[in-house]
Structure 1
Amino acid sequence: MTMKRFAYALAAASAVMIAAGSSAIGDDCPEKDTKLKLPDISNDYPTNVRADYVYGCMLVNGMTRDVVDRCSCSIDVIASVLPYDQYEEAETILSVRQRGGESVAYMYGPLFVEKVSNLKRAQVEGEVRCF
């Protein structure tokens, strides 16, 4: 057998082994037949929203490890009490109100006041449970 034929035979054998190995690996993989199941969290808030809340809470209450834990607990309580879409609406209302003036007077209507009150109640619940 010449060196050239040996190289071709070796390459062919390697290709067969690689193909057989990859199919065998796929058969043994448990993720192939089952889908990744995530916990069902119906009122989960985005990570950046949670981090922003914790950061603001720490600015108000101090920059200690204990405060990080308490602020994290607080946003978890808020998330369990208030769905994210309601939290987002209330935060938006509060943000728009900061502009001030007549152009934002409608933000003090009964519907908007109720949304902000729901957020404040959830925040108080978080403070009571965590602080």
Structure 2
Amino acid sequence: MKRIFLSAVLSALATAACTHNMASTDSVRVLSASNELRQVVADGNAITSLNKAWAEKRQVVLKRRPEFDYRVELGAGSPNTWLYSSDGYAVLASEPYGTIYQLADRDAVNQLLGINR
């Protein structure tokens, strides 16, 4: 009886975790530097591509700090928020003078985010 109960609890927790992960990546919001909403990305394929691009970012050291004209919120609820430059650079919004990252395919990312260079 304990095994059945334990199995049911573990199954419920696994399902809840999966549901939480899906809910946290069901939207991407793009805002201007002045916090005006520019675009909401809701297409599942686009969101998957954006999440992949952010996961594959690489740390860079630049002589000059890029101008971050956009704020990108990945996920829903309490999103993972980034400051973003149309040149393909990103930095965590919570650490604006922290580590700068470069996204591999900036043209594809800009297109998905609705940003024109």
In the superposition, the TM-score normalised over structure 2's length comes to 0.31
In the superposition, the TM-score normalised over structure 1's length comes to 0.29
Larger Rg: 1
Structure with greater proportional strand content: 2
